[in-house]
Structure 1
Amino acid sequence: MSKISIIIPTINEANNLPLLLSDLSSIQKEGEIIIVDCGSEDKTIDIANIYGAKVCISKERNRGFQLNLGAKNSKGDWLIFLHADTRLNHDWFRKINSFLKGNKNSIYYFKFKINNKKIVYRVLEILVNFRSRFFKQPYGDQGLIIHRTTYLKNNGFRKIPLMEDVDFLRRLKKTIDLKQLNSSIFISSRKWERTNIFLQAIKNWQFRRRWLKGESLKSIYSDYYKK
């Protein structure tokens, strides 16, 4: 059994994936990298193969389904879920190694940083890290590190196209301790570059509110991808 399994859902991520896979190359014999692709038309799968990642093909364009498929095909004691457009520090594995020897019932996540020098993103970083640490609400783009037994015991990610991270952590928040790592994950600013970041934050909050009130994810998904 590998020590860790890193699970990355993809769809046309050829521009971003080589950077992340380079960051992850330091794990070598410590674990495995699993790319779960849902129909990329670029070189995503070729890049995954070049870097020696295991490739799983998802029959659905559904991130919750992809993450769960990756977990089912993994062998690691610890599951690390990452987005393809993120980056990690060169010493990320050394920093998390001590946590992997500790409490298997905790879920760990990285400090949130945005890979853009604009000052406005520093404000967003402060707000997100405050929300994550004090309200126990990290999201999937911050990287989630979960022990296999905890993941399986709590039925993993539901097969939903949006809010899979919110749904999973809401189910676990009262029984599992969420801990922020002393290491940052660098998020691509691409999702905010075409809009005002604070207006987008409000829109995202409204999407979550609609979902929590019971609105169908099909309707929310349609509105989310109109942008």
Structure 2
Amino acid sequence: MSKISIIIPTINEASNLPLLLSDLSSIQKEGEIIIVDSGSEDKTIDIANIYGAKVFISKERNRGLQLDIGAKNSTGEWLIFLHADTRLTHDWFKKINSFLEGNKNIIYYFEFKINHKKIIYRFLEILVNIRSKFFKQPYGDQGLIIHRTIYFKNNGFRNIPLMEDVDFLMRLNKKKDLKQLNFPIFISSRKWERTNIFLQAIKNWHFRRRWLKGESLKSIYSDYYKND
């Protein structure tokens, strides 16, 4: 068994994936990189193959399903779930290594940092990190580092196209075991660049509220991606 499996869901990420895979290149001897693609029409799969990643195909565009396919095909003791448009610090693996030797019940996530210099993003970072650290509500774009036994004990990500991170973290038996790392993951600003970030935050909150009240994910998904 390898030490870590890094699982990345993709759909047309040819412009972002090389950057992340270059950040991950230092772990080749310690683990594996798994790409689960859901029908990319660009060079995403070619890039994954060039970097030596294992590639699996999801028959539908469904991030929850993609993440679970990756987990079920992994060999790592620890599973690290990342979005394709994120970046890591050059010494990220050296920093997390000590944590991976410790308590296997702890679920780690990165400090939230947006990869853009605009000052307004610093305010968003503060709000997200407060929510994550004190209210135990990190989201999937912050990365998730979880021991495979804990992942499968909690039944993993469900086969849902949206809210898969919120759903999984809500089902955790012990929220106190969620722990923020003291160094960041750099998140692409692309989803905020087309709109006011505070309006987008309100929209995201409204989508989550609709889901928690029992509305169909199909209608929420349609609204979420209608401008993409």
Give the TM-score taking structure 2 as reference length: 0.98
CA distance in 2, matches of 1:100, 1:215: 38
- Provide, for residues 94-125 of structure 1, a one-character-per-residue CA deviation record: whole Å limited to 9, x for no partner: 11001101111111000000000000000000
The one-letter code matched in structure 1 to 2:216 is S
RMSD, aligned α-carbons: 0.8
The one-letter code matched in structure 2 to 1:167 is D
CA distance in 2, matches of 1:117, 1:95: 25
Give the 5 Å matches for 1:132-151: 132-151=132-151
Give the 5 Å matches for 1:172-211: 172=172, 174=174, 177-211=177-211
What residue is the counterpart of 1:32 in the other structure? Answer: 32
- Provide, for residues 175-201 of structure 1, a one-character-per-residue CA deviation record: whole Å limited to 9, x for no partner: 551001122100000000000000000
Instruction: Structure 2: give runs of 5+ residues left out of the alignment.
Output: none
Q: Structure 1's 226 and 177: CA in aligned 2 closer, same or farther, altered over 3 A?
A: same
Post-superposition offset of 1:174: 3.6
CA distance in 1, matches of 2:118, 2:173: 33
CA distance in 2, matches of 1:110, 1:26: 18
Post-superposition offset of 1:85: 0.1
Post-superposition offset of 1:60: 1.1
1:77 equivalent in alignment to 2:108: no
Contact 2:154 2:173 in 1 (8 A): no
- Provide, for residues 16-65 of structure 1, a one-character-per-residue CA deviation record: whole Å limited to 9, x for no partner: 00000000001121000000000000000000000000000111110000
Contact 2:63 2:160 in 1 (8 A): yes
Contact 1:10 1:35 in 2 (8 A): yes
The one-letter code matched in structure 2 to 1:95 is K
Contact 1:87 1:186 in 2 (8 A): yes
Post-superposition offset of 1:173: 5.6
What residue is the counterpart of 2:93 in the other structure? Answer: 93
Contact 1:18 1:47 in 2 (8 A): yes
What residue is the counterpart of 1:9 in the other structure? Answer: 9
Give the 5 Å matches for 1:29-68: 29-68=29-68
Instruction: Structure 1: give runs of 5+ residues left out of the alignment.
Output: none
What residue is the counterpart of 2:161 in the other structure? Answer: 161
The one-letter code matched in structure 1 to 2:23 is D
Contact 1:35 1:56 in 2 (8 A): yes
Contact 1:110 1:143 in 2 (8 A): yes
The one-letter code matched in structure 1 to 2:9 is P
Contact 1:105 1:176 in 2 (8 A): no
Contact 1:157 1:164 in 2 (8 A): yes
- Provide, for residues 115-153 of structure 1, a one-character-per-residue CA deviation record: whole Å limited to 9, x for no partner: 000000000000000000000000000000010000011
CA distance in 2, matches of 1:212, 1:102: 34
Post-superposition offset of 1:165: 0.2
Identity across matched positions, percent: 87
